[in-house]
Structure 1
């Protein structure tokens, strides 16, 4: 492996395409909008873009229900537009990583239509089973959809098909060689068009127990109560063989094409299996994302993650927010909780959110994250300090969780509201003048977070991100490599050191703290008489 492998310490910006930038005025983000904003992304200091699914889709789950993996959703553009984006991104020094969705297709995919028609061999590509009970009227087992309700839907001839997500997302049968061959072909289709890698959706879920046994606890959808590899559809043995084949495909291409896995595993040591030599390059570190704002929890997560991944020869990949979870300024502004399995906005919260506190902590969290060894992801809008939007009108909600829960669970829309680019205009610059309303409504005051309002303001979140990412790229101690702790376990202050001559100090306590001999490189907030205040972080040049 080359010492300069770009993906080992890359900063990758997540583009949730529907909400990033709308160039054609239909209220939906598009590829042309991304192309227009490439100079902004390059100036931010990121190395690559991950784009949520851009494929042709009926949008039952915002594009994660793919009808055609070799076509672009018309609202976003065309394959030719995607090819132009790849070229333009490369000209700006940015790599491009689309999403790929291998656990399920859309129910409008040609394969599933053939399965419903019961064409020979078509149902073997999916998971169809007879029902239980009198006349097969009950689902084949007790599995629940991640979006609420049963994970099974009955078709007119009486059979049932599995969908761990929406009924419009039937699960594929990865025991069928046709499925593996099809996805290797899809990888080559996009690699041939210059993409630099893929983010793999539900990477932990492809292999199912062929017996489809009932879950001991029907609510345990992440395998927390099962022995390693023992859950019937989470992180099962055999998934590594799929990714070994994918790695062989990627290695056929020049330029170090890479994969990053969305793999929710019951334990960090299980995550290391996905990034062992000859498999995937990186995997999201969700244990870090779900850790509360607590020094012991953060330190434990950092140590465990780096330890297991170092043993596998893989870098850590740090992430604070994405399109499926509550934006971290809002999370950090709530009373400190124990570690949450998945901090999604699907669970209604009654806690009051102290957004000023959450934003202060989020600024500190950025400096901690960017100081850690490995790579990191930036979810669009976090560089603007965007909070979770928690007051979307019920009649405007789009997430299928809202409908599947009987209109009781709010869903993930609050993290997906279209970005504010300018402090003027009816959509804060998301769409051009005279455009249709954004696909999700922007709240009052959204323009106060606009990029143009933060430009040049040294106290803004945007300028803090630019400074942090610039210094991270320039400093020889940062990026891939090792770290050591200066602080002791149990301290309210996290103090880490990286060589040569770099320290990051984060104060998670309630009182200001003294700093070692130093030169300040960057601080999340101004120091208080040369002391670091609560919920703050600083980068130091040290002897």
Structure 2
């Protein structure tokens, strides 16, 4: 491990981020909902796991119509999670353990109960009227344009009292802010400053590519490929309602503020193709987001050819100063084990933690929580409630963390706000922590190997030729040469070994129990085979 070189890197380049959904991590006040004290009580688990930073989904005061993404006060803590004192205690505890803390920032919209919107809605003459996007009906009546909410239905909500529509990209309870208004812009920058002053290490910025709209509010073009099995939003191409040029000016302003505080990070949620995603890095003269979020591992087909091409294309799209990042699970996406199955969830863990770039883990994926069926009478997700036939519900990824076999899985002493995974009595942290062959042990092993080898953190990356459904690549730094070989299928395959090299050590396998990193080669790897559903991390040396 090249410690001197790593010390010269920024922490978010070398670190691993762990996303926490606070409602579902640990309840300490017996209301069935997780809280900040609960997160603090589990920090030692995260240290043992081997991550470097935690990102919290929104914890601000909110009516919870969209579970915190409808903010009613950007500079407070919702009572269900605690208060500012509890936050300060958590932040101190995080830093004491050498970890970093990242907050979720929601700049596109507020709650309709935010004082800003209450004032804006009070009158057309309100001083905050133009802090939101209000428009008259069309001459013949009806909404100002054809935009569709991401949750279905028109993006425009009629306000009878003032005789105008207001814009909402998501729920009608989430009115969009007008980032063309200078005072609003200043107020939101003050929010970031408030939390930076408090000591947070960065922000994940929600739906950043939505943050500003076409000045003329032109109709979005119709998507001719749309079919009824897709969300209503997809009937249109979001040409004028997202990814506007002026949004990059806002991102640059965020970055300038963050840079004033030293080594802070901005992570932008931006769901766009590679060429447009890369623009959010900005330029050397005017940098924007440190890490525009790369969702390709969630969205891509799970086969070697497709993944190989995706990885290559993504790497080619990055500017010379851009640092890659990878996400394979989130509070919005279907669980990894549900998408890929148990065996390939292990391969996915190895891929995530060995690619070049900053990986983000999502709580519960490290123990392989799979498909969780939510009875219709317990569905809480407004997106699922509004479009129940599309199978897009997010509750199944937000179920409580199962810690042990005690009542309610050690998450709470009362019935949780969402059901636990059905197999929680077997699939929980305590059970896997004592099983050297568990998925949790594999994550711990992979994170330990990552800490030992500089090549896995900042080393170069090169695809290695392979046959069958095998994805292979090499990571190199100085004298370190590591081969990562991943069998994405259920048949054994030839192990690809770069010409002129031999295997010196097996560092990790997805199908063998965790052990200390071996001092010598494992004979099976010399047979030149990858077992079905196996991933290997191998140390290479020059052929004698």
Deviation readout 1:353-394 (Å, 9 max, x if unpaired)? xxxxx11101011111211111100000001111131x2111
Residue of structure 2 equivalent to 1:480: 458
Map Cα deviations across residues 495-525 of structure 1 (whole Å, 9 max, x no partner). 2111122110011244313434322100011
Alignment match, 1:501 = 481
CA contact (8 A) 1:306 1:315 kept: no
Q: Deviations over 1:465-519 (max 9, x none)?
A: 011011111112111232112215x752212111122110011244313434322
User: 1:275·1:312 contact (CA, 8 Å) conserved in 2?
Assistant: no
Q: Distance in 1 between matches of 2:454 and 2:423?
A: 40
Q: Distance in 1 between matches of 2:537 and 2:324?
A: 20
> Which structure 1 residue ranges, 4+ long, deviate > 3 Å from structure 2?
218-226, 406-410, 514-517, 526-530
Residue 398 of structure 1 aligns with which residue?
Answer: 380
Does 1:117 pair with 2:127? no
**Matched residue SS, 1:243:** helix
The answer for the alignment partner of 2:143 in structure 1 is 139
Partner of 1:540: 538
User: Where do 1:352-501 residues align within 5 Å?
Assistant: 358-389=341-372, 391-405=373-387, 411-425=393-407, 427-431=408-412, 435-487=413-465, 491-499=468-476, 500-501=480-481
Question: How far apart are 1:79 and its partner, in Å?
Answer: 1.0
CA displacement, residues 64-100 of structure 1 (integer Å, 9 cap, x when unaligned): 0000000101000001111111110011111000000
Q: Does 1:153 align with 2:157?
A: yes
Q: CA deviation at 1:41?
A: 0.5
In 1, Cα distance between the equivalents of 2:19 and 2:452?
22
Take 1:528 and 1:388, find their aligned partners in 2: how far apart are those partners?
37
Q: How far off is 1:535 after superposition?
A: 2.2
2:290 pairs with 256, 259, 281, which one?
A: 281
How far apart, CA to CA, are the structure 1 residues paired with 2:30 and 2:264? 34
8 Å CA contact 2:298, 2:333 repeated in 1: no
CA distance in 2 between partners of 1:473 and 1:2 (Å): 13
Cα deviation per residue 1:422-475 (whole Å; 9 max; x = unaligned)? 1121x10101xxx33101122432221110111121110111001101111111
User: 1:149·1:404 contact (CA, 8 Å) conserved in 2?
Assistant: no
Which residue is 1:513 aligned to?
493
Q: Are residues 24 and 10 of structure 1, via their aligned partners in 2, closer, same or farther at CA, if it must alter by over 3 Å? A: same
Change (3 A) 1:304 1:167: same
- 2:14 alignment counterpart: 9
Separation of aligned partners in 2, 1:55 and 1:470:
34
Of the candidates 75, 78, 82, which is equivalent to residue 80 of structure 2? 75
Partner of 1:349: none
Q: 1:210-266: CA deviations, max 9, x gaps?
A: 22122212669999986xxx8102211111111111111111113x0110010011x
Does residue 33 of structure 1 match 2:43?
no
After superposition, residues 137-286 of structure 1 pair within 5 angstroms as 138-156=142-160, 157-217=162-222, 231-254=239-262, 256-265=263-272, 267-276=273-282, 277=284, 278-286=287-295
Q: Is the 8 A contact 2:336 2:368 kept in 1?
A: no
Residue pair 2:60, 2:73 contacting (<8 A) in 1 also: yes
Q: What secondary structure does 1:42 align onto?
A: helix
Are residues 506 and 409 of structure 1, via their aligned partners in 2, closer, same or farther at CA, if it must alter by over 3 Å?
A: closer
Alpha-carbon distance change, 86 to 405 in structure 1, aligned in 2, over 3 angstroms: same
1:187-227 C-alpha deviation (Å, 9 max, x unpaired) = 1100111100000000111120122122212669999986x
C-alpha separation in 1, matches of 2:316 and 2:305: 16
1:365 and 1:152 map into 2 onto residues whose CA distance is 40
Change (3 A) 1:2 1:176: farther
Is 1:306 equivalent to 2:315 in the alignment? yes
More deviation, 372-381/268-277: 268-277
- Alignment length, in residue pairs? 504
TM-score, length-normalised on structure 2? 0.89
Q: 1:325 to 1:21 in 2, by over 3 A?
A: same
Specify whether residues 224 and 296 from structure 1 end up closer, same or farther in structure 2 by C-alpha distance, changes over 3 A only.
farther
TM-score (norm 1): 0.89
Q: How many Å separate the matches in 2 of 1:376 and 1:50?
A: 12
Decide which moves more: 405-414 or 416-425. 405-414
Secondary structure at 1:70 match in 2: coil
| In 1: Cα distance, 2:245 partner to 2:234 partner | 13
Q: CA RMSD in A?
A: 2.1
1:128 aligns with 134
For 1:409 and 1:167, the matched residues in 2 are separated by 22
User: Aligned equivalents of 1:188 and 1:395: distance in 2?
Assistant: 41
Distance 2:213 2:38 in 1: 39
Cα 1:330–1:528 change in 2 (3 A) is farther
d(CA) in 2 for partners of 1:112 and 1:120? 10
- After superposition, the C-alpha distances for 1:36-80 in whole angstroms (9 at most, x for unaligned) are 000000110000000000000000101000000001010000011
Q: Is the 8 A contact 2:50 2:448 kept in 1?
A: yes
Return 5+ residue gaps in structure 2 as ranges: 1-5, 513-521
